[in-house]
A and B are shown apart, each in its own frame.
Chain A
Amino acid sequence: MKTLHLTISKVDGPVFEGEVLSVTVPGTEGEMTLLPEHSALVSLLKKGNIVVRPMEGDEKGFAVEHGTVEVSGNQATILI
């Protein structure tokens, strides 16, 4: 199964890193779910929850105040 490499980091350190099936983020233009092989995108985030569905294990949620998500080459980076 295809997966997306996701990194969530804060300025002072990484929060999450690993292969995920999908991740849902609260974009300023509305909530969106990023799947593997997503096209290149940069979007701002608004206050809300990031929901990560990792390859193994349960869903994880992270609360964010604001942030930016960047997707390219099957890699997603969320800066919060």
Chain B
Amino acid sequence: MALKQIKNKIDSTKKTAKVTKAMEAVSAVKMRKSQEKALGGRSYAGAALSILKQLSKTNDPALDLYTKTRTEGKSLLIIVTSDKGLAGSVNSAVLKQAEQFLEGKSCDTICIGRKAAEFAKREGKEVIREYLNVQDDVVMDDIGEISGMAMGRFWLGEYKEVFIVYQNFVSTFEQKPTLRQMLPLKEEDLTSMVEGIAPKTGKYAEEDVKAHTALYTFEPNAEMVLSALMAYLMQIMVFHALIESKACEHSARMVAMKNATDKAKELTKALTIQFNKARQAQITAEVSEITGGIEAMKS
């Protein structure tokens, strides 16, 4: 390769490294913010859960509507992914799980994120609503709309079950695609979600969720409280899924960009060696030409 070409290649690799380095730093900050936000919802989730547990003990017939397994109707899957790529396998893992779930099922979807919408269209599933460009600080209006839509249609009997699939944040280097049943409500799913809000290790790992055990008086009545509470719980689940997948997206992008930066640096090193060798070869050739010329003139 000519000297000039190698030189250009080194320059462009260095520039790429700068870009990926900047993206890494930005993702690190965004990841931290998303993590903090995910924890903000914990007290809310804990309180709503303890009220629900208390309610389920009363065996109110109104509860059946939300907890009984149904046999007729379609399924609804809410798929949460990011809008942009360059984040490793974060989206493909979720979509793989979604694909497994959808196989052989009559199922509609609500898509959050561009990758999810593209996937659903490719699979030929009906998209009842899609949300693109969801910001990092998730807007509550959107969440209310999503959970309200899912719950309303379930209530009317159009769907027999509602699931949500998203990327769960375990730690910066580990993310797990997670499929959860939102409706009919399963206590295990909800409990594991509330517990799962805290990451296994790191800054926020040690806080506990408070457990209450009291006999409540309900005002105006258990049924009204229940339907309001269900709406809260649905919102929490959707909010949690969105925030978790944001945290995952950013941390996965951070790791991917770090790898890219390292690789670019390695490449720069290899190219520099190649450049030096080529330059040395050129100089040697020139010197031998000159000495060859002198020898020729002597004789």
Contact = CB atoms under 8 A, between A and B. Distances in A.
Answer whether A and B are interacting partners.
yes
A66 B218 CA distance: 16
B180 interface: no
A73 B140 contact: no
Contacts of A14: 40, 43-44
A33 to B, nearest CB: 14
Given A77-B43, A79-B47, A11 B225 contact: no
Contacts of A79: 44, 47-48, 232
Nearest to A44: B228
Contacts of A73: 212, 214
Interface string A24-37: 00011100000000
B41 A70 contact: no
B138 interface: yes
Contacts of B51: 42, 68, 70
Nearest to B45: A11
A12 B239 contact: yes
Interface string A54-72: 0000000000001010101
B229 interface: yes
Nearest to B212: A72
B44 A11 contact: yes
A72 B210 CA distance: 11
A38 to B, nearest CB: 10
B50 A70 contact: yes
Contact of B41 (A12, A17, A27, A41): A12
Interface in B26-69: 37, 40-41, 43-44, 47-48, 50-51, 54
Interface string B123-154: 00000000000000110100100000000000
A14 B46 CA distance: 12
B43 A7 contact: yes
B215 interface: yes
Contacts of B229: 68
Contact of A28 (B37, B50, B219): B219
Interface residues of A, number: 25
Nearest to B55: A42
Contacts of B54: 42
Contact of A10 (B44, B48, B219): B44
Contacts of B224: 28, 44
B241 interface: no
A27 B225 CA distance: 12
B216 A12 contact: no
A42 B224 CA distance: 11
A41 B235 CA distance: 23
Nearest to B47: A77
Contacts of B216: 40-42, 70, 72
Contacts of B248: none
B5 interface: no
A70 B58 CA distance: 16
Interface of A: 7, 9-14, 17, 27-29, 39-44, 66, 68, 70, 72-73, 75, 77, 79
29 contacts: A10-B140, A11-B140, A11-B232, A11-B236, A11-B239, A12-B37, A12-B40, A12-B137, A12-B239, A14-B44, A40-B214, A40-B215, A40-B217, A42-B216, A42-B218, A42-B225, A44-B219, A68-B228, A68-B229, A68-B232, A70-B50, A70-B51, A70-B216, A72-B214, A73-B212, A75-B210, A75-B212, A77-B47, A79-B47
